[in-house]
Amino acid sequence: MCPGAMTFPLFRRAACAAFAPLLMIAACSAPAPAPPLADARIGGPLMLTTQDGQRLTDADLAGKYRLIYFGYSYCPDVCPVDLQNLMAGFAALEKSDPAVAARIQPIFVSIDPARDTPAQLKTYVRAFHPRLIGLTGTDAEIARVAKDYAVFYQREGKPGAADYLMNHSRIAYLMGPDGKPIALAPHDAKPEAIAAELKQWVR
């Protein structure tokens, strides 16, 4: 029998054994996937009023990821359901990975500043999670933030009527500590799925 017929399989097995650790290192050092909203023109400075009547700016959120949802407290259906889902997912993350959850600040931005005063928001956000911050402001301030975050909103009903609805985008963002967009939060998913999505992007 030709000697090469015996040595080649041995050489191949030896080569595989030698390269296996290198392959494992390469797999472990593979770059993390880019965030879905990387480089999207979404977001901007936050300068609004909290449910406690205090001004909040980006400096107050330094080092924090931001889970931001836009809506209004008088919403009869969509907003409370979305917020309940999001905060249930956030609570699930607090339970499974408290260190990760501690790095996220949940925020509710009102697109109805005429009715959503700080006092109104304080009662509203308290019903969903103790760490949820409610933000409101002047018409101009809300318009600017909504534009920065590509959020549509429009008042519906007769002009001057006290009882009206707000048509608005149904969207929740996960923003990074630098204020840049990372991903959309699945506001209509189960708590476990929401928690998993948040955990995936918090480094």
Binding residues for Cu cation, as ranges, are 75, 79, 168
Give the Cβ contact number of residue 180 at 10 Å.
14
- 155 alpha carbon, distance to own chain's centre: 26
- Token pair, residue 8, equals 């080649």
Residues 31, 29: Cα–Cα separation, whole Å: 6
Residues 37, 180: Cα–Cα separation, whole Å: 9
Binding region: 75, 79, 168
Residues 164, 182: Cα–Cα separation, whole Å: 33
Q: Of 73, 85, 87, give the one whose Cα is nearest residue 168.
A: 73
